[in-house]
Chains A and B, each alone.
Chain A
Protein backbone atom coordinates (compact mmCIF):
# COMPACT_ATOMS: atom_id res chain seq x y z
CA UNK A 1 0.00 0.00 0.00
CA UNK A 2 2.70 2.49 1.01
CA UNK A 3 4.48 1.69 -2.25
CA UNK A 4 1.48 2.82 -4.24
CA UNK A 5 1.18 5.99 -2.19
CA UNK A 6 4.86 6.78 -2.61
CA UNK A 7 4.62 6.21 -6.36
CA UNK A 8 1.58 8.45 -6.59
CA UNK A 9 3.27 11.12 -4.49
CA UNK A 10 6.42 11.02 -6.64
CA UNK A 11 4.56 11.32 -9.93
CA UNK A 12 2.05 13.80 -8.56
CA UNK A 13 4.77 15.83 -6.86
CA UNK A 14 6.82 15.98 -10.06
CA UNK A 15 3.74 17.11 -11.94
CA UNK A 16 2.91 19.71 -9.32
CA UNK A 17 6.43 21.13 -9.26
CA UNK A 18 6.58 21.31 -13.05
CA UNK A 19 3.12 22.86 -13.13
CA UNK A 20 4.20 25.55 -10.69
CA UNK A 21 7.37 26.16 -12.69
CA UNK A 22 5.35 26.50 -15.89
CA UNK A 23 2.77 28.84 -14.40
CA UNK A 24 5.49 31.11 -13.04
CA UNK A 25 7.30 31.09 -16.37
CA UNK A 26 4.03 31.58 -18.20
CA UNK A 27 3.57 34.85 -16.36
CA UNK A 28 7.13 35.87 -17.03
CA UNK A 29 7.08 35.14 -20.75
CA UNK A 30 3.52 36.22 -21.35
CA UNK A 31 2.90 37.48 -24.87
CA UNK A 32 0.02 39.91 -24.98
CA UNK A 33 -2.59 38.54 -27.36
CA UNK A 34 -4.83 41.09 -28.93
CA UNK A 35 -8.26 40.81 -27.33
CA UNK A 36 -9.82 41.87 -30.59
CA UNK A 37 -8.14 38.98 -32.35
CA UNK A 38 -9.71 36.47 -29.97
CA UNK A 39 -13.10 38.12 -30.26
CA UNK A 40 -12.93 38.17 -34.05
CA UNK A 41 -11.82 34.54 -34.13
CA UNK A 42 -14.81 33.61 -32.00
CA UNK A 43 -17.16 35.10 -34.59
CA UNK A 44 -15.60 33.43 -37.62
CA UNK A 45 -17.23 30.19 -38.76
CA UNK A 46 -14.14 28.07 -38.23
CA UNK A 47 -14.33 26.04 -41.44
CA UNK A 48 -10.69 26.92 -42.21
CA UNK A 49 -11.64 26.77 -45.89
CA UNK A 50 -9.13 29.40 -46.95
CA UNK A 51 -11.72 31.20 -49.07
CA UNK A 52 -10.65 34.52 -47.60
CA UNK A 53 -7.13 34.12 -48.99
CA UNK A 54 -5.53 33.51 -45.59
CA UNK A 55 -4.21 30.25 -44.18
CA UNK A 56 -7.27 29.71 -42.00
CA UNK A 57 -9.69 31.35 -39.62
CA UNK A 58 -6.92 32.07 -37.10
CA UNK A 59 -4.80 33.83 -39.69
CA UNK A 60 -7.78 35.87 -40.91
CA UNK A 61 -8.68 36.88 -37.35
CA UNK A 62 -5.13 38.09 -36.87
CA UNK A 63 -5.19 40.02 -40.14
CA UNK A 64 -8.52 41.64 -39.34
CA UNK A 65 -7.34 42.62 -35.87
CA UNK A 66 -4.22 44.17 -37.40
CA UNK A 67 -6.28 46.00 -39.97
CA UNK A 68 -4.74 44.08 -42.87
CA UNK A 69 -8.04 42.53 -43.89
CA UNK A 70 -11.55 43.88 -44.23
CA UNK A 71 -14.25 42.98 -41.72
CA UNK A 72 -16.22 41.29 -44.46
CA UNK A 73 -13.32 39.23 -45.77
CA UNK A 74 -14.90 35.96 -44.69
CA UNK A 75 -16.97 34.76 -47.67
CA UNK A 76 -18.65 31.94 -45.77
CA UNK A 77 -19.90 34.01 -42.86
CA UNK A 78 -21.15 36.71 -45.19
CA UNK A 79 -22.95 39.81 -44.00
CA UNK A 80 -24.05 38.64 -40.52
CA UNK A 81 -20.50 37.72 -39.49
CA UNK A 82 -19.13 40.88 -41.10
CA UNK A 83 -21.51 42.93 -38.99
CA UNK A 84 -20.46 41.27 -35.74
CA UNK A 85 -16.79 41.63 -36.59
CA UNK A 86 -17.30 45.26 -37.54
CA UNK A 87 -18.92 45.82 -34.15
CA UNK A 88 -15.85 44.32 -32.47
CA UNK A 89 -13.50 46.39 -34.57
CA UNK A 90 -15.63 49.51 -34.13
CA UNK A 91 -16.09 49.97 -37.85
CA UNK A 92 -19.08 50.33 -40.06
CA UNK A 93 -19.91 47.24 -42.06
CA UNK A 94 -22.25 49.09 -44.36
CA UNK A 95 -20.25 48.54 -47.50
CA UNK A 96 -20.02 44.80 -47.20
CA UNK A 97 -22.09 43.38 -50.00
CA UNK A 98 -22.84 39.70 -50.44
CA UNK A 99 -21.08 38.38 -53.48
CA UNK A 100 -21.72 35.49 -55.75
CA UNK A 101 -19.72 33.76 -58.44
CA UNK A 102 -20.75 34.44 -62.01
CA UNK A 103 -19.67 32.63 -65.15
CA UNK A 104 -19.04 35.01 -68.00
CA UNK A 105 -20.21 32.72 -70.75
CA UNK A 106 -23.60 31.77 -72.10
CA UNK A 107 -22.44 29.77 -75.09
CA UNK A 108 -23.94 26.39 -74.29
CA UNK A 109 -24.17 23.40 -76.60
CA UNK A 110 -26.76 24.95 -78.90
CA UNK A 111 -25.32 28.44 -79.10
CA UNK A 112 -21.63 27.82 -79.50
CA UNK A 113 -20.73 25.14 -82.03
CA UNK A 114 -17.79 22.78 -81.73
CA UNK A 115 -15.16 22.23 -84.36
CA UNK A 116 -14.59 18.55 -83.65
CA UNK A 117 -15.63 15.75 -81.37
CA UNK A 118 -13.43 15.64 -78.28
CA UNK A 119 -13.26 12.44 -76.28
CA UNK A 120 -10.04 12.91 -74.33
CA UNK A 121 -9.33 13.77 -70.72
CA UNK A 122 -12.32 15.51 -69.20
CA UNK A 123 -10.55 18.47 -67.64
CA UNK A 124 -10.42 22.14 -68.58
CA UNK A 125 -6.69 22.45 -67.93
CA UNK A 126 -5.72 20.14 -70.82
CA UNK A 127 -7.67 22.08 -73.43
CA UNK A 128 -4.95 24.59 -74.27
CA UNK A 129 -2.88 21.65 -75.54
CA UNK A 130 -5.59 20.45 -77.89
CA UNK A 131 -5.64 21.51 -81.54
CA UNK A 132 -7.01 25.04 -81.86
CA UNK A 133 -7.22 25.39 -78.07
CA UNK A 134 -10.09 23.02 -77.65
CA UNK A 135 -13.10 21.80 -79.56
CA UNK A 136 -15.27 24.83 -78.95
CA UNK A 137 -15.20 27.37 -81.74
CA UNK A 138 -14.96 30.24 -79.28
CA UNK A 139 -11.54 30.21 -77.63
CA UNK A 140 -12.65 32.45 -74.76
CA UNK A 141 -15.74 30.65 -73.53
CA UNK A 142 -16.50 27.98 -70.98
CA UNK A 143 -15.20 24.58 -72.04
CA UNK A 144 -17.58 22.74 -69.76
CA UNK A 145 -15.22 20.14 -68.34
CA UNK A 146 -15.91 21.26 -64.80
CA UNK A 147 -12.59 22.26 -63.24
CA UNK A 148 -14.70 24.70 -61.24
CA UNK A 149 -17.17 21.99 -60.24
CA UNK A 150 -14.37 19.86 -58.82
CA UNK A 151 -13.03 22.58 -56.51
CA UNK A 152 -16.40 23.76 -55.20
CA UNK A 153 -16.91 22.62 -51.63
CA UNK A 154 -20.47 23.88 -51.46
CA UNK A 155 -21.96 22.04 -54.45
CA UNK A 156 -22.83 25.41 -55.90
CA UNK A 157 -21.53 25.19 -59.47
CA UNK A 158 -22.53 22.65 -62.08
CA UNK A 159 -22.15 22.03 -65.77
CA UNK A 160 -25.49 22.52 -67.47
CA UNK A 161 -25.83 22.02 -71.17
CA UNK A 162 -22.09 22.33 -71.71
CA UNK A 163 -21.31 25.40 -69.61
CA UNK A 164 -20.79 26.11 -65.93
CA UNK A 165 -23.74 27.56 -64.04
CA UNK A 166 -23.63 28.91 -60.51
CA UNK A 167 -26.32 28.10 -57.98
CA UNK A 168 -26.67 31.59 -56.54
CA UNK A 169 -28.22 30.45 -53.29
CA UNK A 170 -25.59 27.86 -52.51
CA UNK A 171 -22.61 29.96 -53.60
CA UNK A 172 -20.55 31.29 -50.68
CA UNK A 173 -18.24 33.36 -52.90
CA UNK A 174 -15.15 31.61 -51.57
CA UNK A 175 -13.42 32.22 -54.89
CA UNK A 176 -12.05 28.73 -55.44
CA UNK A 177 -13.74 28.35 -58.82
CA UNK A 178 -12.43 31.80 -59.80
CA UNK A 179 -8.91 30.52 -59.28
CA UNK A 180 -9.62 27.14 -60.89
CA UNK A 181 -10.94 28.39 -64.24
CA UNK A 182 -8.04 28.30 -66.71
CA UNK A 183 -9.83 30.85 -68.88
CA UNK A 184 -10.56 33.20 -65.98
CA UNK A 185 -14.25 33.21 -66.81
CA UNK A 186 -15.59 33.35 -63.28
CA UNK A 187 -15.94 36.60 -61.37
CA UNK A 188 -17.30 37.42 -57.95
CA UNK A 189 -20.06 39.95 -58.49
CA UNK A 190 -22.37 41.62 -55.96
CA UNK A 191 -25.38 39.44 -55.25
CA UNK A 192 -27.76 42.36 -55.64
CA UNK A 193 -26.62 43.34 -59.11
CA UNK A 194 -29.11 42.08 -61.64
CA UNK A 195 -27.15 42.60 -64.80
CA UNK A 196 -23.86 41.09 -65.86
CA UNK A 197 -22.23 40.44 -69.21
CA UNK A 198 -22.39 36.73 -69.99
CA UNK A 199 -19.46 36.74 -72.35
CA UNK A 200 -15.72 37.11 -72.09
CA UNK A 201 -14.76 37.03 -75.76
CA UNK A 202 -12.13 39.54 -76.72
CA UNK A 203 -12.46 38.62 -80.37
CA UNK A 204 -13.66 41.11 -82.97
CA UNK A 205 -17.34 41.22 -83.80
CA UNK A 206 -17.18 39.26 -87.03
CA UNK A 207 -15.24 36.46 -85.44
CA UNK A 208 -17.66 36.29 -82.54
CA UNK A 209 -20.68 36.09 -84.80
CA UNK A 210 -19.21 33.10 -86.60
CA UNK A 211 -18.27 31.28 -83.39
CA UNK A 212 -21.16 31.91 -81.01
CA UNK A 213 -24.76 33.01 -81.14
CA UNK A 214 -24.57 34.82 -77.84
CA UNK A 215 -21.14 36.47 -77.87
CA UNK A 216 -20.35 40.13 -77.29
CA UNK A 217 -19.60 41.79 -80.59
CA UNK A 218 -18.40 45.05 -79.02
CA UNK A 219 -21.07 47.16 -80.74
CA UNK A 220 -20.98 49.75 -77.91
CA UNK A 221 -24.79 49.88 -77.75
CA UNK A 222 -24.74 49.23 -74.00
CA UNK A 223 -22.11 51.89 -73.45
CA UNK A 224 -24.20 54.45 -75.32
CA UNK A 225 -27.43 53.51 -73.59
CA UNK A 226 -26.07 53.69 -70.05
CA UNK A 227 -26.87 56.94 -68.27
CA UNK A 228 -24.69 56.15 -65.32
CA UNK A 229 -21.36 55.59 -67.04
CA UNK A 230 -21.39 52.02 -65.73
CA UNK A 231 -20.81 50.01 -68.91
CA UNK A 232 -17.72 50.25 -71.02
CA UNK A 233 -16.37 48.23 -73.90
CA UNK A 234 -12.74 47.46 -73.24
CA UNK A 235 -10.76 45.15 -75.51
CA UNK A 236 -13.87 44.30 -77.52
CA UNK A 237 -15.84 43.12 -74.53
CA UNK A 238 -18.49 44.97 -72.52
CA UNK A 239 -17.67 45.30 -68.84
CA UNK A 240 -20.11 46.50 -66.18
CA UNK A 241 -18.84 48.54 -63.28
CA UNK A 242 -20.97 47.02 -60.52
CA UNK A 243 -20.46 49.94 -58.19
CA UNK A 244 -21.90 52.40 -60.66
CA UNK A 245 -24.62 50.13 -62.02
CA UNK A 246 -28.11 50.94 -60.71
CA UNK A 247 -29.85 47.91 -62.26
CA UNK A 248 -31.92 50.02 -64.67
CA UNK A 249 -31.67 47.36 -67.36
CA UNK A 250 -31.30 49.75 -70.29
CA UNK A 251 -28.10 48.12 -71.53
CA UNK A 252 -29.77 44.71 -71.44
CA UNK A 253 -32.65 46.09 -73.49
CA UNK A 254 -30.37 47.60 -76.12
CA UNK A 255 -27.96 44.70 -76.40
CA UNK A 256 -28.52 43.19 -79.85
CA UNK A 257 -27.09 39.86 -78.72
CA UNK A 258 -29.12 39.78 -75.49
CA UNK A 259 -26.17 38.74 -73.40
CA UNK A 260 -26.45 41.30 -70.63
CA UNK A 261 -28.56 38.94 -68.68
CA UNK A 262 -30.82 39.26 -65.76
CA UNK A 263 -29.21 36.73 -63.48
CA UNK A 264 -30.71 33.32 -63.79
CA UNK A 265 -32.57 34.00 -66.99
CA UNK A 266 -31.93 32.17 -70.21
CA UNK A 267 -30.41 34.09 -73.07
CA UNK A 268 -32.82 34.83 -75.84
CA UNK A 269 -31.49 33.92 -79.22
CA UNK A 270 -32.39 36.26 -81.98
CA UNK A 271 -34.25 34.47 -84.68
CA UNK A 272 -32.26 34.21 -87.84
CA UNK A 273 -33.74 36.23 -90.61
Chain B
Protein backbone atom coordinates (compact mmCIF):
# COMPACT_ATOMS: atom_id res chain seq x y z
CA UNK B 1 0.00 0.00 0.00
CA UNK B 2 2.77 2.37 0.95
CA UNK B 3 4.56 1.55 -2.26
CA UNK B 4 1.45 2.43 -4.29
CA UNK B 5 1.15 5.76 -2.47
CA UNK B 6 4.79 6.50 -3.17
CA UNK B 7 4.35 5.65 -6.84
CA UNK B 8 1.30 7.93 -7.10
CA UNK B 9 2.89 10.92 -5.37
CA UNK B 10 6.14 10.45 -7.19
CA UNK B 11 4.36 10.35 -10.55
CA UNK B 12 2.06 13.29 -9.84
CA UNK B 13 4.39 15.72 -8.10
CA UNK B 14 8.02 14.76 -7.79
CA UNK B 15 8.48 13.42 -11.31
CA UNK B 16 5.72 15.54 -12.76
CA UNK B 17 5.31 14.46 -16.34
CA UNK B 18 5.35 17.97 -17.77
CA UNK B 19 7.45 19.97 -15.38
CA UNK B 20 10.28 17.61 -14.58
CA UNK B 21 10.21 14.96 -17.28
CA UNK B 22 9.24 17.46 -20.00
CA UNK B 23 6.82 15.13 -21.74
CA UNK B 24 3.50 16.19 -23.24
CA UNK B 25 4.50 19.83 -23.75
CA UNK B 26 2.41 20.30 -26.89
CA UNK B 27 -1.05 20.30 -25.25
CA UNK B 28 0.47 21.88 -22.13
CA UNK B 29 1.29 24.98 -24.16
CA UNK B 30 -1.50 24.62 -26.70
CA UNK B 31 -4.66 24.32 -24.64
CA UNK B 32 -3.71 26.15 -21.47
CA UNK B 33 -5.40 29.43 -22.31
CA UNK B 34 -8.51 28.82 -20.23
CA UNK B 35 -8.92 26.83 -17.05
CA UNK B 36 -12.03 25.13 -18.36
CA UNK B 37 -10.52 23.74 -21.55
CA UNK B 38 -7.31 22.94 -19.70
CA UNK B 39 -9.27 20.89 -17.16
CA UNK B 40 -11.08 19.16 -20.02
CA UNK B 41 -7.78 18.30 -21.64
CA UNK B 42 -6.47 17.07 -18.29
CA UNK B 43 -9.52 14.85 -17.87
CA UNK B 44 -9.12 13.43 -21.37
CA UNK B 45 -5.46 12.68 -20.66
CA UNK B 46 -6.38 11.03 -17.33
CA UNK B 47 -8.85 8.77 -19.11
CA UNK B 48 -6.44 7.86 -21.89
CA UNK B 49 -3.34 7.40 -19.72
CA UNK B 50 -5.08 5.37 -17.02
CA UNK B 51 -6.80 2.99 -19.42
CA UNK B 52 -3.79 2.72 -21.71
CA UNK B 53 -1.52 1.96 -18.74
CA UNK B 54 -3.88 -0.81 -17.67
CA UNK B 55 -4.27 -2.36 -21.11
CA UNK B 56 -0.62 -1.97 -22.03
CA UNK B 57 0.45 -3.57 -18.76
CA UNK B 58 -1.95 -6.47 -19.34
CA UNK B 59 -0.77 -7.00 -22.90
CA UNK B 60 2.85 -6.77 -21.86
CA UNK B 61 2.54 -9.28 -19.01
CA UNK B 62 0.12 -11.68 -20.69
CA UNK B 63 1.21 -11.61 -24.33
CA UNK B 64 4.53 -9.98 -25.01
CA UNK B 65 6.63 -11.48 -22.17
CA UNK B 66 5.43 -15.12 -22.55
CA UNK B 67 5.91 -15.00 -26.31
CA UNK B 68 9.29 -13.31 -25.93
CA UNK B 69 8.15 -10.37 -28.05
CA UNK B 70 9.15 -7.56 -25.68
CA UNK B 71 10.76 -5.67 -28.54
CA UNK B 72 7.29 -5.11 -29.99
CA UNK B 73 6.11 -3.10 -26.98
CA UNK B 74 6.32 0.35 -28.60
CA UNK B 75 4.28 -0.54 -31.68
CA UNK B 76 1.64 -2.42 -29.70
CA UNK B 77 1.35 0.36 -27.13
CA UNK B 78 0.94 2.94 -29.89
CA UNK B 79 -1.89 0.86 -31.36
CA UNK B 80 -3.65 0.75 -28.01
CA UNK B 81 -3.17 4.47 -27.40
CA UNK B 82 -4.38 5.47 -30.86
CA UNK B 83 -7.51 3.37 -30.47
CA UNK B 84 -8.19 4.82 -27.02
CA UNK B 85 -7.81 8.38 -28.24
CA UNK B 86 -10.26 7.64 -31.04
CA UNK B 87 -12.64 6.30 -28.45
CA UNK B 88 -12.28 9.32 -26.18
CA UNK B 89 -12.83 11.54 -29.21
CA UNK B 90 -16.09 9.74 -30.01
CA UNK B 91 -17.31 10.03 -26.44
CA UNK B 92 -16.47 13.73 -26.27
CA UNK B 93 -18.03 14.47 -29.65
CA UNK B 94 -21.22 12.83 -28.50
CA UNK B 95 -21.42 14.06 -24.92
CA UNK B 96 -19.61 17.39 -24.90
CA UNK B 97 -19.42 18.98 -28.36
CA UNK B 98 -18.30 22.32 -26.91
CA UNK B 99 -15.30 20.77 -25.22
CA UNK B 100 -14.62 18.80 -28.40
CA UNK B 101 -14.47 22.06 -30.37
CA UNK B 102 -12.37 23.80 -27.71
CA UNK B 103 -9.76 21.04 -27.67
CA UNK B 104 -9.68 21.00 -31.45
CA UNK B 105 -6.59 19.49 -32.97
CA UNK B 106 -5.01 18.80 -29.57
CA UNK B 107 -7.43 16.00 -28.85
CA UNK B 108 -6.30 13.66 -31.67
CA UNK B 109 -2.78 14.79 -30.89
CA UNK B 110 -2.98 12.97 -27.55
CA UNK B 111 -2.20 9.94 -29.73
CA UNK B 112 1.24 11.27 -30.40
CA UNK B 113 1.53 12.82 -26.98
CA UNK B 114 4.72 11.41 -25.53
CA UNK B 115 3.35 11.59 -21.98
CA UNK B 116 0.94 8.75 -22.80
CA UNK B 117 3.45 6.46 -24.45
CA UNK B 118 6.05 7.60 -21.93
CA UNK B 119 3.90 6.39 -19.04
CA UNK B 120 3.25 3.03 -20.69
CA UNK B 121 6.96 2.55 -21.30
CA UNK B 122 7.91 3.70 -17.80
CA UNK B 123 5.58 1.05 -16.38
CA UNK B 124 7.49 -1.58 -18.33
CA UNK B 125 10.90 -0.14 -17.55
CA UNK B 126 10.29 -0.02 -13.81
CA UNK B 127 8.78 -3.53 -13.80
CA UNK B 128 5.47 -2.39 -12.35
CA UNK B 129 2.79 -5.04 -11.99
CA UNK B 130 -0.77 -4.39 -13.18
CA UNK B 131 -2.00 -2.45 -10.13
CA UNK B 132 1.19 -0.43 -9.85
CA UNK B 133 0.96 0.41 -13.54
CA UNK B 134 -2.60 1.67 -13.17
CA UNK B 135 -1.65 3.74 -10.12
CA UNK B 136 1.34 5.14 -11.97
CA UNK B 137 -0.92 6.00 -14.90
CA UNK B 138 -3.40 7.81 -12.67
CA UNK B 139 -0.62 9.62 -10.82
CA UNK B 140 1.11 10.73 -14.00
CA UNK B 141 -2.06 12.00 -15.63
CA UNK B 142 -3.19 13.75 -12.46
CA UNK B 143 0.22 15.42 -12.46
CA UNK B 144 -0.48 16.54 -16.03
CA UNK B 145 -3.88 17.88 -14.97
CA UNK B 146 -2.33 19.79 -12.06
CA UNK B 147 0.35 21.31 -14.25
CA UNK B 148 -1.94 22.33 -17.11
CA UNK B 149 -4.62 23.78 -14.82
CA UNK B 150 -2.08 25.83 -12.85
CA UNK B 151 -0.62 27.00 -16.13
CA UNK B 152 -4.06 27.99 -17.44
CA UNK B 153 -4.78 29.89 -14.21
CA UNK B 154 -1.53 31.82 -14.52
CA UNK B 155 -2.16 32.52 -18.21
CA UNK B 156 -5.64 33.83 -17.46
CA UNK B 157 -4.09 36.28 -15.00
CA UNK B 158 -1.27 37.19 -17.39
CA UNK B 159 -3.91 38.47 -19.81
CA UNK B 160 -4.44 41.47 -17.55
CA UNK B 161 -0.79 42.27 -17.06
CA UNK B 162 1.35 44.71 -18.92
CA UNK B 163 3.90 42.45 -20.58
CA UNK B 164 6.81 43.91 -22.54
CA UNK B 165 6.11 43.72 -26.25
CA UNK B 166 8.84 41.21 -27.02
CA UNK B 167 7.60 38.78 -24.34
CA UNK B 168 3.98 38.73 -25.43
CA UNK B 169 2.49 35.39 -26.45
CA UNK B 170 4.58 32.25 -26.31
CA UNK B 171 7.78 33.68 -24.73
CA UNK B 172 6.05 34.64 -21.48
CA UNK B 173 4.32 31.24 -21.42
CA UNK B 174 7.61 29.41 -21.77
CA UNK B 175 9.16 31.58 -19.05
CA UNK B 176 6.22 30.78 -16.80
CA UNK B 177 6.61 27.09 -17.55
CA UNK B 178 10.28 27.31 -16.61
CA UNK B 179 9.49 29.01 -13.29
CA UNK B 180 6.79 26.41 -12.56
CA UNK B 181 9.29 23.69 -13.30
CA UNK B 182 11.75 25.17 -10.81
CA UNK B 183 8.97 25.40 -8.22
CA UNK B 184 8.07 21.74 -8.74
CA UNK B 185 11.66 20.75 -8.08
CA UNK B 186 10.88 21.66 -4.49
CA UNK B 187 8.90 18.42 -4.26
CA UNK B 188 11.99 16.31 -4.87
CA UNK B 189 12.77 16.48 -1.14
CA UNK B 190 9.58 14.78 0.04
CA UNK B 191 10.46 11.25 -1.00
Residues of chain A at the chain B interface (Cβ within 8 Å)? 3, 6-7, 10-11, 14-15, 18-19, 21-22, 25-26, 29-31
| Cβ 8 A contact of A29, one of B64, B75, B82, B90 | B90
Q: Are B76 and A11 in contact (CB under 8 A)?
A: yes
Q: Are B93 and A10 in contact (CB under 8 A)?
A: no
Q: Are B86 and A15 in contact (CB under 8 A)?
A: no
The interface residues of chain A lying within 8 Å CB-to-CB of B87 are 21-22, 25
Q: Are A10 and B94 in contact (CB under 8 A)?
A: no
Instruction: List 19 contacting pairs A-B, 8 Å CB cutoff, sorted by A.
Output: A3-B68, A6-B67, A6-B69, A7-B69, A10-B63, A11-B72, A11-B76, A14-B59, A14-B79, A14-B80, A18-B79, A18-B80, A19-B83, A22-B83, A25-B90, A29-B91, A30-B94, A31-B93, A31-B94
| Cβ 8 A contact of B83, one of A6, A7, A18, A29 | A18
| Cβ 8 A contact of B76, one of A3, A10, A30, A31 | A10
The interface residues of chain B lying within 8 Å CB-to-CB of A21 are 83, 87
Interface of B is mostly: helix
Q: Are B63 and A11 in contact (CB under 8 A)?
A: no
The interface residues of chain A lying within 8 Å CB-to-CB of B90 are 25-26, 29
| Cβ 8 A contact of A11, one of B75, B93, B94 | B75
The interface residues of chain A lying within 8 Å CB-to-CB of B69 are 6-7, 10
Tell me the complex Cα distance, A25–B94, Å.
Answer: 11
Q: Are B86 and A22 in contact (CB under 8 A)?
A: yes
Q: Which residue of B lies closest to A27 (CB)?
A: B90
The interface residues of chain B lying within 8 Å CB-to-CB of A22 are 83, 86-87
Interface of A is mostly: helix
> What is the minimal beta-carbon distance from B53 to any residue of chain A, in angstroms?
16
The interface residues of chain B lying within 8 Å CB-to-CB of A7 are 69, 72
The interface residues of chain A lying within 8 Å CB-to-CB of B68 are 3
The interface residues of chain B lying within 8 Å CB-to-CB of A14 are 59, 76, 79-80
Other A-B pairs beyond A3-B68, A10-B69, A29-B93, 19, CB < 8 Å: A6-B69, A7-B72, A10-B63, A10-B67, A10-B76, A11-B72, A11-B79, A14-B76, A14-B79, A18-B80, A18-B82, A18-B83, A21-B83, A21-B87, A22-B87, A29-B90, A29-B91, A31-B93, A31-B97
The interface residues of chain B lying within 8 Å CB-to-CB of A26 are 90
Q: Which residue of A lies closest to B67 (CB)?
A: A6
Q: Which residue of B lies closest to A21 (CB)?
A: B83
> What is the minimal beta-carbon distance from A270 to any residue of chain B, in angstroms?
50
Report B48-74 residues with CB < 8 Å from chain A CB. Answer: 59, 63-64, 67-69, 72
Residue among A6, A11, A29 having the largest count of chain B Cβ atoms under 10 Å? A29
Tell me the complex Cα distance, A220–B112, Å.
Answer: 67
What are the interface flags for B81-112 relative to A under an 8 Å C-beta threshold, 1 for contact and 0 otherwise? 01100110011011001000000000000000
Tell me the complex Cα distance, A15–B81, Å.
Answer: 11
The interface residues of chain B lying within 8 Å CB-to-CB of A31 are 93-94, 97
Q: Which residue of B lies closest to A9 (CB)?
A: B67
The interface residues of chain A lying within 8 Å CB-to-CB of B94 are 29-31
Tell me the complex Cα distance, A7–B82, Å.
Answer: 19
Q: Which residue of A lies closest to B75 (CB)?
A: A11
Tell me the complex Cα distance, A188–B64, Å.
Answer: 66
> What is the minimal beta-carbon distance from B10 to any residue of chain A, in angstroms?
30
8 nearest A-B residue pairs (beta carbon): A18-B83, A29-B90, A29-B94, A31-B93, A14-B79, A14-B76, A22-B86, A31-B94
Tell me the complex Cα distance, A29–B90, Å.
Answer: 6
> What is the minimal beta-carbon distance from A13 to any residue of chain B, in angstroms?
9
Tell me the complex Cα distance, A11–B75, Å.
Answer: 8
